[in-house]
Structure 1
Amino acid sequence: MKESRDAAAPLHLAIVRQAYNPYGGAERFVERALKALGENAVQITLITRNWGGEHKPGVKVKLLGAPRLGRLLRDITFTRSVRSLIKTQVFDLVQSHERIPGCDIFRAGDGVHASWLEQRARTLSPLGRLAQSLSPWHRYILRMEDRMFRDAKLRAVICNSEMVRQDIAHRYPQLASKLHVIHNGVDHVHFHPGLRELHREKVREQLGVPESTRVLLFVGSGFERKGVPQLIEALAQPALAQAELWVIGKDRHARRLQKRAERLGVASRVRFLGPKKDVAPYLGAADVFALPTLYDPMPNAAIEALASGLPVLTSTSSGAAELVRLGENGERVDALDIPGMAAAAHRLLEAMHDPLRCSTFRNASRASVDTLSNEAMAAQLVALYRQLLGGASQL
Structure 2
Amino acid sequence: MRILFVTPEYHQDGGTERSIYMLSHRISENNTVDIITSRFTHEPTSSLNIIKVPRIYGVMAARFLFFRFISDLLIFYRKLRYGFSYDIIHSTSADSGLANIVTAHFCMKKHYQLRKKSVSLLSVKDIHGFLREITLRCFMLIVSWLEKRCFNHRRTKRIIAVSNSLKNDLIHEYGVSPEKIDVIYDGVDPERFCPDDSNNIRKDKLTQLGIPLESIIVLFVGGDWERKGLIYLLKAFQNLQANNVHLLIVGKGDVNLYQALSADLNIFRSNIHFLPFDVRIEQWYNAADIFVLPSLYEPFGMVALEAMSCGLPVITTSRSGISEIIKNGYNGIVLHDPEHIDILTMTLRDLIENPDKREQLGKNARTSALKYTWQQITSETLSIYQETGKET
Alignment TM-score, normalising by the size of structure 2 = 0.85
What is the alpha-carbon distance in structure 2 between the residues aligned to residue 16 and residue 203 of structure 1?
A: 36
Alignment CA distance shift 1:235-1:23 (3 Å): closer
Greater shift, 381-390 or 192-201, is seen at 192-201
What is the alpha-carbon distance in structure 1 between the residues aligned to residue 243 and residue 114 of structure 2?
A: 29
Shift of 1:386: 1.1
What is the alpha-carbon distance in structure 2 between the residues aligned to residue 326 and residue 182 of structure 1?
A: 21
Letter in 1 for 2:108: H
What is the alpha-carbon distance in structure 1 between the residues aligned to residue 25 and residue 93 of structure 2?
A: 21
- Can you list the C-alpha shifts for 1:154-185, whole angstroms capped at 9, x where unaligned? 11111112221222233345421121111222
Shift of 1:241: 6.9
Match of 2:361 in 1: 361
What is the alpha-carbon distance in structure 2 between the residues aligned to residue 322 and residue 54 of structure 1?
A: 35
Greater shift, 127-136 or 183-192, is seen at 127-136
Q: Tell me the SS of whatever aligns to 2:177.
A: helix
Match of 1:114 in 2: 109
Alignment CA distance shift 1:81-1:274 (3 Å): closer
Q: Tell me the SS of whatever aligns to 1:190.
A: coil
Aligned length, in residue pairs: 375
Structure 1 unaligned residues grouped into runs of 5+: 1-10
Letter in 1 for 2:34: T
Shift of 1:42: 1.8
Match of 2:259 in 1: 258
What is the alpha-carbon distance in structure 2 between the residues aligned to residue 122 and residue 281 of structure 1?
A: 37
What is the alpha-carbon distance in structure 1 between the residues aligned to residue 137 and residue 286 of structure 2?
A: 42
Match of 1:62 in 2: 51
- 1:124 corresponds to 2:99: no
Match of 1:228 in 2: 230
Alignment TM-score, normalising by the size of structure 1 = 0.85
What is the alpha-carbon distance in structure 2 between the residues aligned to residue 391 and residue 104 of structure 1?
A: 11
Letter in 1 for 2:221: V
What is the alpha-carbon distance in structure 2 between the residues aligned to residue 21 and residue 192 of structure 1?
A: 21
- 1:337 corresponds to 2:333: no
Shift of 1:28: 5.1
Alignment CA distance shift 1:12-1:135 (3 Å): same
- Can you list the C-alpha shifts for 1:58-116, whole angstroms capped at 9, x where unaligned? 2223333465342222322322333344455232111111414442011112x100112
Q: Tell me the SS of whatever aligns to 1:296.
A: coil
Quick check: 1:232–1:270 contact (8 Å CA) kept in 2?
no
What is the alpha-carbon distance in structure 2 between the residues aligned to residue 242 and residue 27 of structure 1?
A: 33
Match of 2:154 in 1: 152
Quick check: 1:227–1:335 contact (8 Å CA) kept in 2?
yes
Q: Tell me the SS of whatever aligns to 1:290.
A: strand
Shift of 1:278: 1.7
Match of 2:82 in 1: none
Match of 2:11 in 1: 21
- Can you list the C-alpha shifts for 1:178-208, whole angstroms capped at 9, x where unaligned? 2111122211112223447443445444444
Letter in 2 for 1:340: I
Q: Tell me the SS of whatever aligns to 2:219.
A: strand
How does 1:1-395 map onto structure 2 within 5 Å? Answer: 11-24=1-14, 25-26=16-17, 29-36=20-27, 38=29, 41-65=30-54, 67-87=56-76, 89=79, 90-99=85-94, 100-109=96-105, 111-127=106-122, 135-172=137-174, 174-195=176-197, 197-210=199-212, 212-238=214-240, 243-251=245-253, 253-266=254-267, 267-333=269-335, 334-351=337-354, 353=355, 355=356, 357-390=357-390
How big is the alpha-carbon RMSD for the aligned residues of Structure 1 and Structure 2?
Answer: 2.8
Q: Tell me the SS of whatever aligns to 2:218.
A: strand
